[in-house]
Amino acid sequence: MKFKSLCTLAVVAAITTGALAPMAANAESKTLSGTGEVTYEEDTTTNKPKDPEDPKNPDKEVDPKNPDIVINPNGGPITIDVVPNLTFPNQKIGVSPVATTAYAEPITLAFTDGTSVTRGNFVQWTDKRAGNDHSYQIKAAMTKQFTNGTNELKNATISFAEGLLNSDMPSDNWPAARPLGFVLTGDGLSKDVYDNSESTGALGMGTFSAEFGTSTADVTNTLGEASTGTVDKAVELSVPAGQSIVKGKYVADITWSIEYTPAPAAPEAPAE
C-alpha cells in the first residue's frame, strides 16, 4: 500500500511537470493594431491685433474700434493685419527757408476691458501658410500725396526709424533681422519695411509686428532685444520750403503689403 501510494504520487508529479513545459515554450502574443489620424488645413480666419510691446498677454484683447489703427477684416493664411493711421500735429503756415518737419503722434491702443496704452505706430502681419516656405517682404508706399482738395504738399515725405520687431512666437521662429528704416515719397514706389525673403523652414511663421519707436526707452521685445528709440521722433513728416500752402486738413494714402512667392499648385489628378 505504501508502495502504490508512492508510485501514484510520482506519476502525478511527472504528468504535471510535463504538461507545463510545452505551454511555456509555445506561448504566443495576440495583437491587433489600429491607426491614429489627423488632417491639417490652412487657417483662413481673421488675425486679431496684438499689443506690439506685449504680444504674449492673453488677457488683453485689442478693441476693434481703435481710431488710431486700421484692422484687416479679411482672413487668410498670409495677411497684413494692422496698419497705423498716422496723425501729425497741427502746423503753422509760414515762410521758411528750409523744409518744415513734424513727428507723428503715438498710438493710443485701447482694449476691450476699457484700458488703454501708448504705443508707437506699428504694422502687424501673419504668415500661417502650410509648408516650409515662410519667406516674404513687408513693404509700404505713399500711394497718394498729402492733398486738400486740389491743393497738395509738393514732395512731402514720411520717414520711419527706430523699428522693433516683436512676436509671441518661440525664438526658433524669429528671423534674425530688425525692421528697416525707410522713406516714403509721393511717387507711389514701395519701400522695404521688413525683409524675410531669405528665410528657411519656419523662420517668419506666425504673427509679427514692427513698431516704430516704443512707448519708453526701456522696452524690450520677447527675445530681450532693446528699443533703439522712442515714438516721439520715429516717424517724421518733411515738407520742402518755398511752396504756397492753403489752410485745411491734408490727407495722404499709405499702402502696406506683404509680398511672397505663392506655393506651387498641387498637381492635377491623373485622368481615369
CB 79 within 8 A of CB 256: no
pLDDT tens track for 95-114: 788 999 999 999 999 999 99
Q: Considering the domain boundaries, does residue 80 fall inside one?
A: yes
For residue 83, what pLDDT is reported? 98
Q: Considering the domain boundaries, does residue 174 fall inside one?
A: yes
Q: Considering the domain boundaries, does residue 51 fall inside one?
A: no
For residue 227, what pLDDT is reported? 97
Q: Which residues of the chain have pLDDT under 70?
A: 1-26, 263-272
The set of cell numbers assigned to 14 is 511527472
Q: Considering the domain boundaries, does residue 25 fall inside one?
A: no
Q: Considering the domain boundaries, does residue 6 fall inside one?
A: no
Q: Considering the domain boundaries, does residue 15 fall inside one?
A: no
For residue 58, what pLDDT is reported? 86
For residue 12, what pLDDT is reported? 40
Residue span of the structural domain in which 157 resides? 69-259
For residue 177, what pLDDT is reported? 87
Q: Considering the domain boundaries, does residue 2 fall inside one?
A: no
**Domains held by the chain: number:** 1
Q: Considering the domain boundaries, does residue 42 fall inside one?
A: no
